[in-house]
Amino acid sequence: MIRAVIFDLDGTLVQTEKLKALSYARAVIELCPFDISEAQVMEAFQEVVGRSRNEVAIWLMERFSLEKRAQERLAEFGVETPWQAFIQLRLRYYEEILTDPKILRTNQWPHNVTLLQKARQAKCKLGLATMSYCQQVQRVLNVLGLEGVFDFIASRDDVEHSKPHPEIYQLVAIELGVPPAECLVIEDSPSGVKAALAAGMACIAVTTPFTRKPIHQEQLLDERWVVDDPERLPKVVGQLIAEHNQRVGVESLGMETKMVEQIKASQES
């Protein structure tokens, strides 16, 4: 049976991956020793979506030869390594982008937010597992009006290992008091899907323009559990729950049935 639904944040509930990609692109352009466009950087960013901040920074620095110019900015940012300087520059751009809360509100993913709301109404346990840092997580949830929705939130501050390591999902399951086998994860990135599967959880990948290609290429999930069209999400959730329950030999719980029916009703209205 599925007793808990655990959501990723960036790229799943809100399109912050797009905004983060833009901030990385602007930082790369400022440091890059050769001409490069925002589109080129944002395309490259798709290969590291969902990884930790330092992993993304190091990868992009190598990809676009940024180390020398980043080295020259150490004193400006009061850091010790080039990748830290690059991150601070990127965060400066990101904070500028997020100055207007309207940007976050207009970049939320309504289909996944609807699923979250219906799961809550159906009394499911709800978790959030994100590689963003706590301060940014709270800002995003506050702007979107999602404070107090989750039973437990785990951020990058709470774990030693980043996705695709399963640590963050294991932590959420423990804090929710639900066995991993009874958790459903909603993710968008390959690293997030890998983390969920490694934790022993069911997973549905709701792809974005940034993650669609790698999700399908890596074939981490049965294609039935990959959602490219948001209108299919309620049906896919229902199918997964039904098959999961059949596999473990239980009938659908009223909670699960209610959640799926509520999602379908919201899509039809």
Could you tell me the pTM of the whole model?
A: 0.81
Which pLDDT belongs to residue 53?
Answer: 85
Which pLDDT belongs to residue 46?
Answer: 82
pLDDT over 90 percentage in the chain: 73
Distance from chain centroid for Cα 233: 17
Which pLDDT belongs to residue 235?
Answer: 94
Which pLDDT belongs to residue 257?
Answer: 60
Q: How confident is the model at residue 259 (pLDDT cuts 50, 70, 90)?
A: low
Contact 6, 120 (CB under 8 A): no
Mean pLDDT, residues 64-73 taken together:
97
Which pLDDT belongs to residue 137?
Answer: 92
Q: How confident is the model at residue 246 (pLDDT cuts 50, 70, 90)?
A: confident
The partner residues of 183 in beta bridges, in order of sequence, read 4
Q: How confident is the model at residue 99 (pLDDT cuts 50, 70, 90)?
A: confident
9-47-20-105 Cα dihedral, nearest 10 degrees: -40
Predicted confidence (pLDDT) at residue 186 exceeds the cutoff of 60: yes
Which pLDDT belongs to residue 75?
Answer: 97
Predicted confidence (pLDDT) at residue 176 exceeds the cutoff of 60: yes
Which pLDDT belongs to residue 250?
Answer: 60
* Beta strand ranges found along the chain (DSSP E): 4-7, 125-129, 152-154, 183-187, 202-206, 226-227
